[in-house]
Amino acid sequence: MATFFFGSGFLYVYAGHDVNRSVQGDMWRIELDSLPSVPSWELISSSKDQICPPARTSHSAVVSSNSWIIFGGTDGVDVFNDLWEYRFREKKWRQVSANGSVPPPRKDHLVTQVKDHIKHPI
């Protein structure tokens, strides 16, 4: 399962499985405001280019301000409890450190945003 987001005229797609069921960790976008002309997909983030989350699927994601925030998921072997932020303007990932207790590793879960606060994954 990949996650997607539509904003500022672009559709973003992150992670998931490819046709061979290999777990992916790249991010793509396509400009939908250019329709009806033929839009082109653009690879905007991959582990070959920069520091980014390990490839994963079954993670949760939420868009907050100008960032895409992901939590958890699995690479098919390990289950994660890491938190990552993708900043759309800079086109860069950063791992987010948090104080206090961290939720245990999980996959196939939900996260929600209420006003400016992201609620714990469930």
pLDDT band at 47 (very low <50, low <70, confident <90, very high): low
Rg (CA), the chain: 15
Q: What's the total number of domains in the chain?
A: 1
The per-residue pLDDT for 50 is: 74
pLDDT, tens digit, 9 for 90 and up, residues 50-93: 788 999 999 998 888 788 899 999 999 999 999 999 998 888 89
The per-residue pLDDT for 56 is: 92
Kindly report the CATH number assigned to the domain that includes residue 54.
2.120.10.80
- Give the span between the Cα atoms of 52 and 84, in whole angstroms: 8
pLDDT, tens digit, 9 for 90 and up, residues 6-36: 667 888 888 888 888 889 888 888 888 777 7
Among 33-37, 100-104, 109-113, 114-118, the range of highest mean pLDDT: 100-104
8 A C-beta contact, residue 34 and residue 89: no
Range of the domain at 10: 3-118
CA angle 70, 42, 19 (to 5 degrees): 70
User: How many other C-beta atoms can be found within 10 angstroms of the C-beta atom of residue 88?
Assistant: 18
